[in-house]
Amino acid sequence: MSKINVAVLGATGMIGQRFIQLLENHPWFEIGGLYASERSEGKKLKDVLKVRDHSFNDETLDMTIERLETKKISELNRIAFSGLPSDIAGPIESDLADLGVAVFSNAANHRMRDDVPLLIPECNSSHLEAIKQQKTYSNGGYIVTNANCSTTGIAVPLKAIDTSFGLKMVCISTYQAVSGAGYPGVPSLDILCNVVPYIKNEEEKMEMELAKILGDYNGSRFIDANVNVLSNCVRVPVIDGHLESLVFNLSKDADVDKLAGVIRSFTAEPQKLQLPSAPIAPIIVRDEPDRPQPACDAFAGTPARARGMACTVGRIREKDNYFKMFVLSHNTLRGGAGGSVLNAELAVAKKMM
């Protein structure tokens, strides 16, 4: 099987460069071009690096950033991975779908559309069907979105819990890494020795997105899950990895051991299909008293290609018919570029490409 040509949109940004790292040496995909705004046209990747971890192939580092022109992109690529900022992503992604490109996007613009899957393959792989409602589907163009970084990490264990025990209400407090704000992002003057209890629109996104992801797709539209989601979002001085505290209650009987068992053994379609970026265990449950921690668990996930694609759960406790636990996941891998790469792999495996 020959590899599928893929474009990376927003190649000068944090998420764009995570896409590049994941697509180098990918077994199914070949980077067909790196695209960004006019300002970076002609520069080499190595001159616009944003991620601290510079472990790119030398040939990749020497790739040239091209100006983002949808016509040209569509001629050269079957897929576009979009790490574009949301102030410009909307119409560009629509244009590409019109031109027959399958767009897998990290941007928020199209997430809540009634014909666009907000896809986390471990949670709602059946939602992918919705792309058939997109008017451009017949000529191969469509848009699939991954969820917000703070939504993604907790969605997988909450799906496991909801399926087995019926999730009624969940209170979430986040401890979000600065890489989630892109580059330059959070000024050091704001966050050194400080925490900031505000991330614009983040709480609204989490609350809406979780309901869609945990909900159903009935063949023509999405039906939100009947879950009460209450979130408080906070930025902390951490580079990578969002930690989240959860308090929730359930409609069926449960206890700590049953919960841990269900979460620990959870697998879903990506594992069954053995998608290249799927972690063997999508949720790792730690027994230590003080885990998960960003410093230790952000890059959880095996095999090597799934590094940063597993989320880690710890400190499952019960009190007064409520459960408490912590979840950690990598915000720009599982919760960003990695999420969309996995989505594209699912589409390929399901022959919707």
- Catalytic (active-site) positions: 149, 242
Sheet with 142-145, edge to edge strand ranges: 65-67, 29-36, 4-9, 79-82, 102-105, 142-145
**Nearest 5°: CA angle at 183, between 21 and 333?**
35
Binding mask 5-44 for a second copy (x = CB under 8 A): ---------x------------------------------
* Nearer CB in complex with a second copy: 91/303: 303
- Per CB under 8 A, the list member of 230, 252, 255, 257 interacting with a second copy is 230
**Nearest 5°: CA angle at 31, between 27 and 32?**
135
Binding residues for a second copy restricted to 134-193, rule: CB under 8 A: 171, 173, 175, 178-179, 183-193
- Per CB under 8 A, the list member of 38, 87, 289, 351 interacting with a second copy is 289
- Least distance to a second copy, CB of residue 334, Å: 18
- C-alpha span between 219 and 126 (Å, rounded): 10
- Least distance to a second copy, CB of residue 52, Å: 5
Q: Residue 101: which of 133, 116, 79 has the closest Cα?
A: 79
Binding residues for a second copy restricted to 308-327, rule: CB under 8 A: 314-315, 317, 319-320, 322, 324, 326
- Least distance to a second copy, CB of residue 309, Å: 16
- Least distance to a second copy, CB of residue 179, Å: 6
Position 61 contacts a second copy (CB under 8 A):
no
- Least distance to a second copy, CB of residue 249, Å: 10
- C-alpha span between 17 and 333 (Å, rounded): 11
Kind of pairing, strands 228-232 and 167-175? parallel
Integer angstrom CA distances of residue 348 from 14, 150, 268, 310: 25, 26, 17, 21
* Nearer CB in complex with a second copy: 17/148: 17
Binding residues for a second copy restricted to 183-212, rule: CB under 8 A: 183-198, 203, 207
* Nearer CB in complex with a second copy: 2/55: 55
Q: 340: which 2 tokens?
A: 């969309």
**Nearest 5°: CA angle at 154, between 352 and 246?**
160
* Nearer CB in complex with a second copy: 60/245: 245
Side chain identity at residue 230, one-letter code: L
Tokens 């039906």, located at residue: 223
Number of chain residues interacting with a second copy (CB under 8 A):
55
Q: Residue 79: which of 131, 42, 41, 40 has the closest Cα?
A: 131
* Nearer CB in complex with a second copy: 137/299: 299
- C-alpha span between 344 and 348 (Å, rounded): 6
Stretch that binds a second copy, among 68-76, 80-88, 113-121, 286-294 (CB under 8 A): 286-294
- Least distance to a second copy, CB of residue 314, Å: 7
**Nearest 5°: CA angle at 208, between 225 and 269?**
55
* Nearer CB in complex with a second copy: 138/194: 194
- Least distance to a second copy, CB of residue 299, Å: 9
Binding residues for a second copy restricted to 82-141, rule: CB under 8 A: none
- Per CB under 8 A, the list member of 50, 113, 168, 264 interacting with a second copy is 50
Q: 259: which 2 tokens?
A: 């919960």
Give the burial string for 218-234 (b: 16+ CB within 10 Å, else e): eeeebeebebebebebe
**Beta-ladder partners of 29:** 4
Tokens 């666009």, located at residue: 116
Binding residues for a second copy restricted to 246-275, rule: CB under 8 A: 246-247
Which residues are at the interface with a second copy (CB under 8 A)? 14, 50, 52, 54, 171, 173, 175, 178-179, 183-198, 203, 207, 228, 230, 232, 234, 236-239, 243, 245-247, 289-296, 314-315, 317, 319-320, 322, 324, 326
